[in-house]
Chains A and B, each alone.
Chain A
Amino acid sequence: MKKLLLFTAIIFFATIAFAQSDKYASAMKANISQLDSMMAKGNGAELANNFERIGDAEKTQWLPYYYAAYCTVVQAYNEKDNSKKDAIADKAKQLIDKAETILGKENSETDVIKSMIATSHMMVDPQNRYMDYGPESAGFIQKSEALDSTNPRPVLLEAENKFYTPEAYGGGKDAAKEYFDKAKKLDDNFKPETELSPNWGKSAIQYFLSQYK
């Protein structure tokens, strides 16, 4: 009987735990599946809020904050009003800092977000901010690549930066091509650690590569 009780107890708690983590995983999956479509509709804020709520409730998971930061920084990219960009980028910074605090370190994926944050600050006033934020953004891309050479996202950022940099500055469509090709190759071979781990970028790579056809 004792054995049975113990067994039951184990099952009980395991089930609860499973249910909990299942709830986490399914909520995350539901939101991650919307990444591309929500961003396309410009609903990044809503998705960011969803992720942030999960992060706030879970307290020990870095991925919700990571995704919240990603959605927020994309929002900063898309914001047309330059006077609002800095505040949105600052919000993304807060979120990625939370993710790194839980993670206890930075990793290849968080560095990608930090590079994007620096880029959005730069976009507010490129001429005056290039000297500060340009190297910062490039530095995080380099770090990200160094931390995980199989990660396609830093290469994708590098490719996008090249794509939008004028030819006179060593950028341009042609110069970006090899980076998109490299990002594609990495992405094809990329195995995310878990099914919730970052795996975005496919559609962006496809979109840009379609520009060359």
Chain B
Amino acid sequence: MIRYIGFVFLLINIKANAQTKISGKVTDNHNKALQGISISIKDSYEGGTSDSLGNYSFITSEKGTLVLQASATGYKSFDQNINLNGTSLKINISLKEEITELKAVVISAGTFEASDQKRASALNPIDIVTTASANADITGALKTLPGTQQVGESEGLFVRGGTADETKIFIDGTLVNKFFYSSEPDLATRGRFNPFLFKGTIFSSGGYSALYGQALSSVLLLESIDLPERTSADFGISYLAANAGIQKLSRNKKSSWGITYAYTNLALVFNFIKQKQDYFKVPVLHEGDANFRIKTSATGMLKYFGSFTSTNVGFRNQDVDSLNLKDAFGLKNLYMYHNLSWREKIGDGWKLNTGISYSTSRDNITNELQDGENKKQEIMDEPLYANKNFNLVNNGQYANAKVVFEKKLFNLSAIRFGSEYNYSNEKTTYTQYNGNIYPQTVKENLFAGFAETDVYVTNDIAAKIGLRTEHSQLLDQWNMAPRVSLAYKFRDNSQFSLAYGIFYENPERKYLPTINQLHFEQATHYIAQYQKISNERTFRTEIFYKKYKDLFKTGLNNNGTFMAINNNGFGDAKGIEFFWRDKKTIKNVDYWISYSYLDTKRDFLNYPYAIEPSFATKHTASLVVKKFVTNIKTQFNASYTFASGRPYYNINYDSTTSKYKIYDEGHTKDYNDLSLSINYLPDIGKPKAKHFTVFVLSLTNVLGANKIYTYNYSANGQNKVAVTPPSKRFLYLGCFISFGIDRSQDEINNHL
């Protein structure tokens, strides 16, 4: 008996005897020492950890042929067979970096991304709503980034010498038509969509992916939020609007729905802030939206968002041709938007992203020539005045569908392909002063197919190569657009990117239909970027060259409006841009500076030859500062924007030469704006708070600078009227309350 037990202990002791020392150095593939790496004998407790010089050493009592392992997050694991027999071993280990999203170079030429991903980005979603000059408008915040122009007399984003129509906006992958409220003369309308609907914003000022088209200059990609954090009810009140809404998260947190309604009436504001225009119908808006979101599986998400807007506005402006007369403009708009999107991992590394959207917009615009007593004037014998009485009804229907398949390949590499369909049908009825009716229809079926691949060679080098082809029924034409981007990351995590691409777009719809056969307009982009992003600081600079070809030219049609007549236009744009953001240097202060230099000329519309377009300016600079003062729970935001003067022209038809001619030109004075806003958040940091309140106070153009966007000319060229903002300053005061119904208690109960 004793014998046996002795034998047993003997066995155990043998096992614990002979010891081997293993040591060496751990480095990465750039021969840099790696610290904190775990080195071990497989399936044993034995092992060591590398020190700050990469050295490791440990003594093991294991024997025989075993496996030495080294592993660390972000590196491919290392295995080597070793023979343990008491002789010391020296084994140097070189670990290969794994290509991971956190470490890999980002293909970023032309792009600004604001998302809540873990990767450091230049902007965060919250930045958009806290930029002082933005007034919580998405495009307002983007106007503080390089590449954009300060155009205040019409809506949209004017990017790198491009028109607003050259920027297209996508929600969850599908094109949005009529993103902005319907145009009003000499006013920039806001975007229809609340910035809080979106969790991610990507703004590309050029060189973007083959997944997107029909934009010569820029795309803005908005990604809507998935499930809300909790069930909540929201109320907002300001001196121009009131809104209420509910977002309901299901008990199992797999689905949610929500509805909101908002009523805007500017009567009170306009009493308080004098408007340049004389409003006979103060703007009144009814807006509603509804959504549902369903987690269809662990990886699947189905989202619906729909909204409805009704606008009614009317105002008088001094007529540019006669000092005694006024133009009374009236607009009624009904707008509806639906977007359904679905994304799912369909197995074997495949991902599906698909979406459809449908929208309708009905504008009813009337213009009336009025005298000093606001009485309608009909001056039948002078076409110039006679044509100022008209009615325009525009019924637009738009449908968009997109499907994208993605397959993950080795590392982060992937291929993506799919197709897109855009349908638009705009029926316009123009009623002339004499009752003549000019109905017209512009219908387009545009099909696109695209394929793109991301290739990650290492963490440091990546390429995106894509091809897009489109067929337009309206133009009866195909196009083929290659896109290429390259990115290289340096050892200090800064990176250099290049982008090249060809972009096509239909001639702008408002200049259609036309009697002539038109074709696609074209732009070619060349972009070089250097950027260094860390959590606290971002530096980014880009140079670009953009060449325009086949821009449309316009001529007058019978009712005195412009229409596209040919594709003989051309142009180019080049420039350099800087962006610097710093959250570190000044404690608790976050600021960014952007500067754009733009040199552009183009011949399009009725320009007689290539000139600097009236929406472009050479120098634009912005400074945005945000400071949160903790003990008073208040955030102070300021933004200052400078833009050098914009060119303006009086272009008219010269009947002697049968050509358009520049009769007068000049530059506006420099543009300056300083805006301030204050957000007070009394409930922040109260863990048991049942509601969350935000007070917002903002004031634009604090210094009262006289802003002149451009000039309007009378038909005879004798009178020149500055186009200015409707009021010198704008003050906003509002309060938003969110009542959260916290479900964490339910979760605990369910768990127990």
Contact = CB atoms under 8 A, between A and B. Distances in A.
Interface of A: 4, 8, 11-12, 15-16, 19, 23, 27, 45-46, 49-50, 52-54, 56-57, 82-83, 86-87, 90-91, 94, 121, 124-125, 127-128, 131-132, 135, 138-139, 142-143, 146-147, 165-171
A132 B227 CA distance: 12
A153 to B, nearest CB: 17
B664 interface: no
Nearest to B51: A46
Q: Which 9 residue pairs are nearest across A and B when measured between Cβ atoms? A: A169-B685, A49-B38, A45-B36, A46-B49, A168-B631, A8-B4, A82-B535, A146-B748, A49-B49
Given A124-B535, A139-B747, 18 more contacts: A8-B5, A11-B4, A23-B45, A46-B49, A49-B40, A50-B45, A50-B49, A53-B38, A56-B42, A56-B43, A83-B120, A135-B744, A142-B744, A147-B751, A169-B630, A169-B633, A169-B684, A169-B686
A19 B38 contact: no
Contacts of A56: 40, 42-43
A132 B117 CA distance: 12
A46 B47 CA distance: 10
B632 interface: yes
Interface in B306-359: none
B118 interface: yes
B126 A168 contact: no
Nearest to B744: A139
A169 B4 CA distance: 69
Nearest to B15: A19
A135 B741 CA distance: 13
Contact of A135 (B1, B42, B229): B229
A168 B44 contact: no
Contact of A167 (B8, B118, B536, B631): B631
Interface in B604-655: 628, 630-633
A171 B309 CA distance: 44
Interface in B111-163: 116, 118, 120, 124, 126
Interface residues of B, number: 45
Contacts of B36: 45-46, 49
Contacts of B73: 87, 90-91, 94
Contacts of B628: 127
A130 B684 CA distance: 10
A82 B744 contact: no
B490 to A, nearest CB: 15
B37 to A, nearest CB: 8
Nearest to A168: B631
B273 interface: no
B298 interface: no
A176 to B, nearest CB: 13
Interface of B: 1, 4-5, 8-9, 12, 35-36, 38, 40, 42-49, 73-74, 102, 116, 118, 120, 124, 126, 229, 534-536, 628, 630-633, 684-687, 744-745, 747-748, 751-752
B8 A16 contact: yes
B747 A165 contact: no
Nearest to B631: A168
A139 B413 CA distance: 37
A131 B694 CA distance: 14
B350 to A, nearest CB: 25
A86 B118 contact: yes
Nearest to B687: A138
Contact of B685 (A16, A91, A142, A165): A165
B685 A15 contact: no
Contact of B126 (A15, A19, A46, A128): A128
A19 B630 contact: no
9 contacts: A11-B8, A45-B36, A49-B36, A49-B40, A53-B44, A54-B45, A128-B126, A169-B686, A171-B685
Nearest to B7: A12
A12 B40 CA distance: 29
Contacts of A143: 747-748, 751
Interface of A is mostly: helix
A49 B687 CA distance: 36
B694 to A, nearest CB: 12
Contacts of A167: 631
Contact of B536 (A52, A82, A166, A169): A82
Nearest to A23: B45
A193 B122 CA distance: 49
A147 B685 contact: no
B12 A53 contact: no
A170 B685 contact: yes
A49 B45 CA distance: 10
Contact of B631 (A54, A83, A166): A166
B12 A19 contact: yes
Given A12-B8, A132-B116, A170 B1 contact: no
A121 B687 CA distance: 18
Given A91-B73, A170-B687, A86 B102 contact: yes
Contacts of B9: 15
Given A135-B744, A143-B751, A168 B632 contact: yes
B538 to A, nearest CB: 12
B118 A53 contact: no
A53 B102 contact: no
A52 B38 contact: yes
Nearest to B73: A91
A27 B120 contact: no
A120 B630 CA distance: 20
Nearest to B36: A45
A176 B157 CA distance: 50
B748 A142 contact: yes
B630 A168 contact: yes
B187 to A, nearest CB: 34
Contacts of B48: 46, 49
Contacts of B687: 138, 170
Contacts of A19: 12
Contacts of B744: 135, 138-139, 142
A52 B628 CA distance: 42
Nearest to A129: B116
A8 B3 CA distance: 10
B1 A4 contact: yes
B8 A27 contact: no
Most buried by B among A23, A56, A124: A56
Contacts of A11: 4-5, 8
A16 B13 CA distance: 11
